[in-house]
């Protein structure tokens, strides 16, 4: 079974608003962003306030925690929101390409909730010119060539 791409976000970092702190026991970098998403499930934008917070401890382990709200329309055309909590960890100062994350979703979409409220997704971050492209996959999905899930 292959993982199935379910959503792709194009992130644009707001570089002029990045804040950083460095101290003897670690560092924190807060990266605000905006973005867009277009997929078969959902089409919309990242609402104002999207933030990627990266905390690096003295041992060089970095925790990335991106939290943001998507606002748009679900696959039925109904307006909805999707809250994304996306976590990643890197060790020894590494920043692998692509980096892998574990996303959690909450939504007010009656159509998407039964699917997105399950914990069977992974994320990948790929570098981009203005910010990363984030891809979310359903883990172990068995899909046909059209992308339709076969259960």
Question: Counting Cβ atoms within 10 Å, is residue 4 exposed (0-12), middle (13-18) or buried (19+)?
Answer: middle
What's domain 4-138's architecture?
Beta Barrel (2.40)
Domain boundaries, the chain: 4-138
User: How would you classify the pairing of strands 99-107 and 79-90?
Assistant: antiparallel
Supply the pLDDT for residue 2: 85
pTM of the model: 0.88
Supply the pLDDT for residue 142: 60
On the question of pLDDT at 76 being above 90, the answer is yes
pLDDT in tens, 79-126: 999 999 999 988 766 677 788 899 999 999 999 999 999 979 999 999
């Amino acid at each position: 079974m292959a993982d199935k791409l379910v959503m792709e976000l194009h992130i644009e970092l707001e570089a002029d608003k990045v804040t950083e702190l460095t101290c003897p026991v670690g560092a924190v970098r807060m990266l605000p962003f905006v973005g867009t998403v277009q997929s078969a499930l959902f089409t919309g934008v990242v609402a104002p306030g999207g933030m990627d917070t990266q905390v690096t401890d003295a041992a060089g382990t970095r925790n990335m925690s991106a939290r943001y709200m998507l606002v748009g329309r679900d696959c039925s055309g109904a307006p909805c929101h999707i809250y994304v909590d996306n976590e990643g960890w890197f060790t020894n100062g590494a920043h692998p390409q692509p980096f892998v994350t574990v996303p959690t979703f909450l939504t007010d979409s009656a159509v998407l909730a039964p699917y997105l409220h399950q914990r069977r997704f992974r994320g990948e971050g790929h570098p981009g010119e203005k910010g990363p492209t984030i891809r979310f996959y359903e883990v172990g999905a068995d899909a046909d060539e059209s992308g339709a899930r076969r259960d």
